[in-house]
Structures are given as structure tokens and as C-alpha cells.
Amino acid sequence: MMNKEIQLIIEMIAGDKQSYTSNELASFLNLKYTNGVYPYLKKLSDKELIHKIFKGDYSLNIHHNKIKDIKFVVTIFGKPAGILFTNESKKILQKFCKNPIIPKNQITRENLTTIKKIAEKTKVIHAVKEKGKEEDYFIACWEEPAKRVLDFFDIKLDFDEEEFKHTVIKYYSSIKNTSSPFDDETQKQLKRLNMETYLGNRDFILNKIKQYEFSFLDNVRNLTNSKNKQFTNPFCITSKITDWKMKYIYNTDKIEGNPLSMQDVRTILTVGSLSVEQDSKAVLETVNSRTALDNIFETSNELNIDFIKKLHLATQQGIDELAGGYKDKENCITDNEGTLIDTTTPVEFVEKRMDELLSWYDKNKSKLHPFVLAIIFHNQFVYIHPFNDGNGRVARLLLNFILIKNAYFPIIFYNDEKSKYYTYIRSSKTGDIKDFVSYILNLYRVQLEEF
């Protein structure tokens, strides 16, 4: 059980207020009488974790290192982070800091229950299971949340962190994923590369962005409003949207290698798929893209995991057995010749990265210019590559959904400029998105004039 003092701190952090009355603090612990909370408050005060302020209210000592540690972890995981700050968890973490990988058969039943909860709720500990074998557990000691919890308990690693990272890479590389399109040796190499990227934090840009404000975006709203005023005839705007959708679908699918011509796409979307004698998968991709595209014009939708999976299901229905679900095999970003362009997030860490991305979006959707918000979200999504296939299509849909939801026109990435598009994605991996922002702004201006 979490001790009452830690529970109080977590509740105060979650409440996000500057101060609390003793009555409020007692209610956090479900105490019938307010006096019952004072022994816990005294312990916290003696350790200088809280302050007693004006009128007998209490506030957190936000400058105390232990408060900083708890606040950081709670900000990421919410109240479930409390499971990390129990005496039982402390003992478990001490064991992992002596032996970072522990097989299930070496864990007591009581500890295993807690370990599974930690793995499920916080990812400070991870489970790895190879088919036909019992799972092993290891501590993600290189991740900031794990570092903060260990600092809180003053636990030191009894092993070399960098050496352990190499062990994890080797460990994961030996485990075969299901449904891999690669031979075993290639799959192992790809897993090693993806794990090296993840452990080096090279698949994550949200903490690397070098600039958020771009003054050259100030006039985009005026340009958009001026264009909107031109559409007084609803039939005109309907016709233009229909034509735009055909161009969008042709180009977004063409970027991913779809062989259909613009006329094929037009025929499929106006006459029907049976009118085109082409590869059935190529035709289905076009039909699916139309269904997915329609979803992003429904601005009542909220950008969350379910919506992203819904878009993926729409694009991959009848093509990918895991349509609407995260990848179950390692993938990478390649060119049309199959040459490796970039690595992606390993299978085991996709859910974690996606949760981080959505958390970042929720915190910044009202702070950043929609163009900047959309570009960062799009790029981070591409670096994660959370699905077996269809990642590029979904990424471009999400970028446009953010623009539309913020009352901007959507844009098309033209297949003729595919290499330029890929170059800007790769170049922004260091956190410098200025060139990508300029590129999209130019696309927007040109396409707005043509719309």
C-alpha cells in the first residue's frame, strides 16, 4: 500500500492548486475527522515537503527535489504513478537495480503481481515474452521516469547503464516477431537497429524542438479568411472539394507506390471500382482512402488513440489483418527500391510513444500555431511508425485533420515532390522544423490560390 504521506502529495499534485485546507487534505485520505490528517501533515512538514501558509492552508514545497521527482512522474502517468512510491515497489526496484533483467520464474507471486501492475500502468518495468516461453522483466533505467523514481528512493544502479542498453538490444534482437515479411536474419538486424534508435532517443523529437514561434505564419489566418469569403455559392465549394479529394487520394496513395493513374482514381470515385481493370489491392487502397479522408472532415471528432486507429482501420480494411491495431513486427522507412531511409520505434515501445505523443498534443493544442502543431504531430507519428503499414497515409490525414479542426484548408503533398517531402521529414528529426514549416506554408499558399 502507498503510505498516506505520498498519497497526499500525489493528490495535491493532481489537484493542481497552489494551496489546500486541512479539510480538503483529510478528504483526500477519506478521513472522517479532519484531525486525523495532522500526523501525516507533520511528517511532511518535518521533511520540508510541504509548507504551512496563510490561514492554516498547506502548499507543496515545489523546490524540494523529491517533490520534483513525484511531480514529474505524476505528470506523465497520472495518479496510477502512485504504485511506484510504495515500500513494496522500492524493494522490487532495488532488486532490478542489482539485476536489471529478471525471469518470471525467479519472482515471487506477491512481487509478480506488483511488477505486472508497474509494467501495465507506468512502463518503468517492461515485460518481454517470446512465443512458447515465460516472460522476462527488465527495468527501463535509461528512461527519465525510472531515473526520477530511483532518485526519490536514493537507489543507485549496480550495473553499467550503457552496457545494459547493449544487452537489451541483443536480447530483443534474438526474439522473433510474428508475421515478419523479412527473413530471420534481416528481422534480427532491423530489431537491433530500431532498438538502438529507441535507446538513443532518436525516434523522439518532442523534447528536441528548437523553435515553436514562426512570425512568417502570422498572415496565414488572413489569407484563409480571404479565401473563405470567395465561396458564397455552396455548389461551387462542393465541386471544388470533390475535385480536391480526388487529387489528394491520387497523390497520397501514389507516394506509397500505388500504380493507379489519376484517371483511374477519378473513375473509381465517380463511376465505381468495377469500372477499372487494375490490381485489386490498388483499387481497394483508393476506395479505403476515400473512406478515411471523409473522417477528417468530421471536426466533432477528437484527436485521440481511438480516432487514429479508426483512420488506420479505414485505410487498411481488407488489406492488413491488423488494420486498426498497432504493429506486431518491426518495420522501417524505405524508398521505392527498398533501401533503408530510417529506423522506427520498436514494437514493444509503440504504445508508450503514442501515449507520449497524445499527451503532448493535449498540452499544446491550444498553445501552438496549428501549422506547427500539425507538423510536429505528423513528424513524430512518422518516426514512431506505429502500424504495420499505412503509416504515411495516416500521418498525412492527421496533419490535415489538425488544420481542418482549426478552420484552415487541408493540403496535398504531391507525389512529384515526394523526395522533397521525405527530405524535410528526415531533416527535422534533430528538432529543427523551420524548413518543414516554410515548405508547408508555401504549399498552402499556392494551393489556396488554386482552390
Residues 48 and 91 reside in one and the same domain: no
Residues 45 and 82 reside in one and the same domain: no
Domains in the chain, number: 3
Domain contains 182: no
Residues 245 and 98 reside in one and the same domain: no
What CATH number does residue 131 fall under? 1.10.10
Residues 6 or more apart whose CB falls under 8 angstroms from that of 310 comprise 295, 324
pLDDT of amino acid 233: 64
Q: 111, 139, 159: which is the final residue of a domain? A: 159
What distance in Å separates the CA atoms of residue 409 and residue 448, rounded to the nearest whole number?
A: 8
Q: What is the pLDDT of residues 293-333, one digit of tens each?
A: 999 998 889 999 999 999 999 999 988 888 999 998 888 87
Residues 256 and 353 reside in one and the same domain: yes
Residues 103 and 252 reside in one and the same domain: no
Domain that holds residue 270: 215-450
Domain contains 185: no
pLDDT of amino acid 273: 59
Domain contains 170: no
- Burial environment of residue 372 by CB neighbours within 10 A (0 to 12, 13 to 18, 19 or more): buried
Q: 25, 46, 63: which is the final residue of a domain? A: 63
pLDDT of amino acid 181: 46
Domain contains 171: no
pLDDT of amino acid 190: 81
SS (H, E, C) 78-115: CHHHHHHHEHHHHHHHHHHCCCCEEEHHHCCHHHHHHH
Domain contains 323: yes
What CATH number does residue 42 fall under? 1.10.10.10
Domain contains 177: no
Residues 342 and 224 reside in one and the same domain: yes
Instruction: Kindly state the average pLDDT of the residues 128-150.
Output: 82
DSSP string, 280-345: HHHHHHHHHHHHHHHHHT-TTS--SHHHHHHHHHHHHTTT-TTTTS--SS---EE-TT--EEE---
Per the document, the length of the chain is: 451
Report how far apart, in Å, the C-alpha atoms of 85 and of each of 149, 370, 393 are: 8, 38, 42
In the structure, what pLDDT confidence band is assigned to residue 200 with cuts at 50, 70 and 90? confident
Q: What is the pLDDT of residues 206-239, one digit of tens each?
A: 989 988 899 999 999 999 999 888 876 666 667 7
Query: What integer best gives the mean pLDDT of the chain?
Result: 87
Look up residue 428 and give its DSSP letter: G
Residues 55 and 76 reside in one and the same domain: no
What CATH number does residue 285 fall under? 1.10.3290.10
Domain contains 189: no
Residues 328 and 440 reside in one and the same domain: yes
Q: Tell me: pLDDT of 444 over 90.
A: yes
Residues 59 and 72 reside in one and the same domain: no
Residues 293 and 407 reside in one and the same domain: yes
Q: Tell me: pLDDT of 183 over 60.
A: no
Domain contains 166: no
Residues 27 and 147 reside in one and the same domain: no
More confident residue, 51 or 183: 51
What distance in Å separates the CA atoms of residue 324 and residue 307, rounded to the nearest whole number?
A: 10
pLDDT of amino acid 170: 67
Helix axes 65-77, 144-152, angle to 10 degrees: 140
Residues 154 and 273 reside in one and the same domain: no
C-alpha cell, 140: 527501463
- Contact at 8 Å (CB) between 207 and 161? no
Nearest to 10 by CA among 23, 26, 28, 22: 28
Q: 48, 63, 78: which is the final residue of a domain? A: 63
